Structure 1
Amino acid sequence: MSELELFHFSENSTVKKTTVTPWKVLSVEDDLTYQASLIYSLQDLVVYERPVEILTANSVSEAADIISRNSDISVILLDVVMEEDDAGLRLASTIREVLGNSAVRIILVTGQPGMAPRHEVMAKYDIDEYWNKSDLARDTLHTVVSSHIRTWRYLSELIQAKQGLQMVVDAARSISSKQNLVSFTETVLNEIERIIGIKQGGIVCFAYQGKQFSSNARVLAASGAYSGSTHKALSELNLDEYYPGFVCAAEKRGHLFGTDSSILYFDTPNIDQKHYIVLVHSRERLTDGHINLLQVFSENISSGFTAVALVSRLTNLAYKDQVLKSYNRNWLLRELSAMTKEEKLESRLMIVVVNDFTGMMVTFGEHYCEDLLTALLLNIHGVYPKDLIARTGDCTFAILFNKKSILTEEKLSHMIDQRLTLNNTIHRLRLTVARIDLSLLTEVKAEQILQLSESTANMAHIKGQRIIDYEPEIMRSITASHHLLMDLHAAIDNHEFFIVLQPKVNMRSGKATGFEALLRWQKPDGQVIPPDRFIPLAETAGLISHLDIEAAKQTIEAAILLQKAGFDLPISFNASCSNLHHKDYVRTVLDMIGRSGLDGHLLDIEVTESQAMLSYEQINPTLKQFSDLGLGVSIDDFGTGYSSLAHVAYLEATTLKIDKSFIDHLGENDAGNHVVEMILHLGEQFGFAVVAEGVETELQRQYLLNRGCYVAQGYLFARPMSVSKVIDWLNTQQTT
């Protein structure tokens, strides 16, 4: 029976006929040809007798706008690479973490499989599936989209139901303390005793299911002469004389009132198909007044049985996983919220994640994988028979246990490699486990405890660990990153960033040949945030374009100041490759250069080797736009990536910068020496200038000079300086 049948609608209510609402599928794709093929392939798809409506976006910003206006999108077909090489991944992160939308199914599609490794991407960004465009034939596309529409429908209905059911259950708890059927029935019996004043005799309540009453009916509650018979079968009690009355009341589904005994009948057929027979036996004759009172009371408590049964059912729906019949995430949050500080001191929470579950779902299907999880849950119960287990996600379980029942490391190591047999097929499930000592989180709210636990498990997955213990540093790291991100947003708005210039020096003459602009951040309180903290954070948060544009702007201004001071020396500024994919960034920088009137040869743009080589075909045309204006193009950290010699030969670059990691060990090992000599040889062969980074000793300087490398930057020559100090330093150079 459906939940709707529990409700009665008035006869005069009307239902308006409506057209069939289509499923909404969003395609985020900047390849218009491929997007057109997707639309064509899906135009005749029908799921649950409803057609599919395709929404389209050709950029991340356009997709974000569509998502904000359509809360009922079921599936998103998301291209990995669009305006930027990680644009699709950042959109996925925004959907899950910022919008908090866990229901919409995200299917990542890519024409460049190497751009984002499958397993890392699916774990980090909560991606539901990952396909190469070439593998998505029409039939496969129909199967994948249909499956995820069904999953979205199930999740959406469940989320809506649970929100409503939790409100009902929690409200019912605050109204009455008698939501348990046994305690409710015991209270009923006590009230009957009080109403009719039974001094000798007793009351007993039987519960049974099925259409026919039988002697197998069990005692639910009892009082008086029948005390101590709870859970016994009717056949175990000496009540044969009443049996015909029980059968009659059950058949008529009504009460039987008498002067020495009465039989009351209650049922909840629309909720749980249960029936209740109550025998009220008094050795004193019941008066007509007693019988009338008992009859009125019976009519009142009839709704009580229904209410208790309904609360029981709603509790089951709200706090039980309806597939595995285990506790669910809502239940765990309720238990954690109810725990006292003393209970937390003695408890642990363990998160168990089934690795590669998404791949299993694709391979074997949803129902098969649910059977696998059921078998896994039985195995976990075998290891933790007395502890509380909840399913908190598609492939995640949480175990709440007392520290006294903790497993040895040996048994835990054995548990995380499960061997299950299903349909005569052996499956080996690999689990990741995160252990959380709740004594470390006594002042933390339930939702945050669970989030920290899941973050710890995710950290183990990223690190390749199978078992990990939560440490306070994890929370401090997450909190610090969040606060720093908030400060980063404010710093961009308040223009707290500035550049310093580090000279590039001719090691033979000691004279400056140019500079590199390095972005710095100093907060209003004077605290300096190092670049290795704020730059990765800006990249993750999608703010790096703001920083790169600010660096370019200030570099142009610095070059103009140097020129006015009489120094025509080029200054390089860094650009992330994600920005070089972004037309707005390129256009903005080119416009700034054009408006400044600065000669292009006084600027140099730097990109890292690993990024440039990874996106060679997309990056090279953009670099040519800058070189056409006379700008130099430097490949930073050269030697650390995986450059193809064919790409290097045709790379739109003017300078190779030897990474500091190789300079640090010059003369110490052959490997580093060979890399340096190889880069110098490449420069000579293909006409690149070569700059050594991080030169700090005279030994390094002499080694490089002996091998024909003449330009370097590093602390041996000068540290990064403000523009005004650079001008003073250059003036000093001229006089020496």
Structure 2
Amino acid sequence: MSQDRPDAAEDSLVFASEAAAAGRGCPPWTILVVDDEPDVFAATCMAMRGVEILGRPLEFVHAASAREARALLQSRPEVAVILLDVVMESEAAGLELVACIRNELGLKKPRIILRTGQPGYAPEMQAIRDYDINDYRIKSELTRTRLYTVLTSALRGYQTLAAVESTRHDLEYLLRAQTELLSANTMPAFAVGLLERLAGLFGAAADAAFVSDGRRAQDAEDHRRRVVAALGRYADWSWRRLDAIGPCPEVRVIELAFSTRRTVQGECGLAMYLPSRTGADAVAFLGAACATARHAPEVFDLFVQNTAVAADGVRLVERLRDAAYVDGLTRLPNRSALAETIDGALRVPPDGPQRLLLIDIDQFSEINETFGDRIGDALLRGVAQRLMAQADSSVRVARVANDTFAAFGPQDRLVPADWARRLDEPFEVDELQIALSASFGGVELTPECGSGGELIKMGYSALKRAKQAGHRSVAFYSHEVATEIKERTRLLHGLRAAFDQQRLFLVYQPQVEAASGRTVGLEALMRWRADDGRLVPPDRFIPLAEQSGLIKDLGAWALRLAIHRAVVLGEAGHRLRMAVNVSMSQLLVPGFERLVEEALAEGGLPPQRLEIEITESVAMQSPDIVLPRLAALKRLGVGVAIDDFGTGYSSLSSLEKLAPDRLKIDRSFVLGLEAEQGSSGIAEMIIELGRTLGLRVIAEGVETEAQRQRLVALGCHELQGYLFSPPLAVDALPGWLAGQQT
């Protein structure tokens, strides 16, 4: 380095240091020279030819007047430094242009260096401060090295201001983005919005995926990482498990972010780790070579932190929405969600008629009490799965109460018989085979329906009508149904009051031996006399008691009262068998056999003198429950009779499993004995079946001598009916029995 040429030495040093730091292919810095002397512009360009500052080349543009400079700045806002002659058209032209640049054009970033050819001239310090002037130099002072130094200082200032403005823009972008993200009320919507905004933040293509980690979430059903949303070339990842996508660089980067719990930049893209206070951590992956360095680290960290907080907020909204609109056991929509769906259909009517179908599981509360909540819950989940399995996208399935489901959709897709068949196959839970049936209440959607909630109430009215008719029944809503439901509600209140006030009583119908006419037993029958003195028919209030659950208390009361009456009659010399009807609701009460044993012990009646009557349909509905109960009763010595035999659907093998003591021929088959083409053959087959199995057979509803004679001829063992006696009040019973003995 030559010491006698200082300028040359400085110049060579400048070029060496800048060349080492130069980056190739970067856009040039734009320098505006504003001077009315073209030679000044040419000299400036000549002095800085080939120079790079801060790794970028220089581009010089010229304006010969303040007017030209103003126009050029309007078209080229990327100008970084302005070398401005103070005196041009006028002595104040330079400062007036500075005022225009800062105030009118609003350009705050460009650095301004004032130059003058008049050594004695200098702007006031207030002007330098007010107009944000970077430097002031006399033109003769700006040698090549000095010009390089001044421009470097000015460009560093410009670069700092540009970075600050970029950060401000980024912060504004992030603020807008996170405000928009917070409006999402589901994680998929949040994830898609985040991926789109993440791509916008980095200026990259929206090839991205959002992966949620279920392993750390205590309430997650699927404890595996799953892609909640995916865009662009990763779109086919949506809702797939991460471990099912297969090995690839993107999956490895995502897994690394989860395992290290930090954001990872890989060659294939950026995996942004989002920690969660609930344990459901996530990774937002952007598949591009993201230049994260162009953003301030603190800005990026702020984006990550705020996004993680926003994600937790959306998860909270999801959980709250789940609590409000999703059934926790079956994951089906609940009653509120169904009501909103119906409200939507009322606002915007779909094509074609719509129907709501309520599906109520028969006797579910008794099954649940027998087997416990765990088995009951498993059954309800099984019912939900079967109902959903065959429901297309046009049908909304929901759970609206404990054992009541609902389906809403096109009328032709909601035929009760089709939905009943879905429950035909028994449910297998813990090696138990449990048969279920359902009753259906339907209502058609009409513009007159005020709301979804109102339509559901109408469906319940129809369902109550169906339950009144018995298991596996169907009813549709009408105004007549609504009136009837109101009447049934009134009747139920009256029944409860009658039971509480002891206005219910038992009557007893004799059962006689067919061959001799000797009285061998009594059947206890419940009666209710209303306040007006009229008897309410049993076929009206007994089903009502069963559906309301009141039958459990009524049945226990009737059992104890019948046992007491049998003991009193025995003490008077009438040692008769006492038959008591038991419903499915009673039989399914846990510990029913213990209740019978305790009632016998309290009353002092030998078990052999008590007979429990159950209908054939009850005996066959849930054999896993019924058979053990009947076996326990028989071990006590209590007899078992199958009532209304022949009207149900039992097979010979199931009858052998039940092992009853007595078969009871339904009155409808007894009536057929006198018809020329009646059902006498069925009565004959039942009697023959009893003989084959060693069971006694009793016929009920015998009203004529011809019927009696025919039954005796067929070999029927016992008879019951008005031919012998109507049901007798307790006061009339001793006298009638004494007369029979005489």
TM interval, short-chain normalised: 0.3 to 0.5
Q: Which has the larger radius of gyration?
A: 2
User: TM-score with structure 1 length normalisation?
Assistant: 0.43
The higher-RCO structure (CA 8 Å, 6+ apart) is: 1
